[in-house]
Structure 1
Amino acid sequence: MQVDFYHLTRDPADRLLPMIAQKTLDGDSRLLVVSADFDQIEKISAALWQSKPESFLAHGLAGSEEESAQPILISDDCAAANGATYIALADGIWRDEALAFERVFYLFTPDHIDNARTAWRNLTTNDDATPRYWKQDGGRWVEGP
């Protein structure tokens, strides 16, 4: 399993998630986006609708009638009612339940650096996990040391 750590120093999660979601869908996978912050959930939903002028990234909220049909589901917990194999932890809170997914995107701000460091240390001792660190460099995401 691959765990991608995205250190959000410039852009918030709702700016990065449309790119992650599009790449996930391009690879014929489904995505679960998790956040315990309702305001952030609203921003992420709006960003997915408005990410490209010519299209939108179809998604829904957990608990809705059509949640199982959604290619991208936004929730406050790690239950993938849409059958997602990829998960994005958008609020900076690490959840061990994410380790049940094929791929994890862990987005964190400087406010959550201690959570990220703890998760990184724990994952480096897990033979089944491959953690990778990503940072912004001039507006691009590059893999860091």
Structure 2
Amino acid sequence: MTCPESGTWYYKDKISDSNTTLTITYGNDKKGLYYCEYDSDKKYYFFVQGKVCENCFELNAALFGVVIVMDVALTAVVMIIIFMCTKKKNPAGLAHPPKTPARPERRGPPGQSSEYEQLNHTRSQDTYSIVNRTG
């Protein structure tokens, strides 16, 4: 901590005289209000608050950004490898569509045949005894 001018540092009680900076080794017991007093009526306050643990470390924003970019790049590489490995070497179908087999030509019914007899109109009340033409 740096005071604007040389002064006396206080934390609950007097700590040191005539220094512009105060350096402390931070610990949980060092939390609280610090101030320096100079010119006998001017005070400059510092409030120290934090949490300290043995395994804590500060993460740099640039390092965090690099980790995210590398993660996205690695994911893209894995996706490309999977795409290349699963891509079919041969097309699923044949290159040329197969030709449909030739069908014999349909011809209309021959003139008079025993297969195409006229309906018997004498039974006009029976089902299917009358031909209804539509269209």
Q: TM-score, normalised by structure 2?
A: 0.19
Please say which structure displays the higher CA radius of gyration. 2
Higher RCO (Cα < 8 Å, 6 or more apart): 1
The structure where helix makes up a greater share of residues is 1
Q: TM-score, normalised by structure 1?
A: 0.19
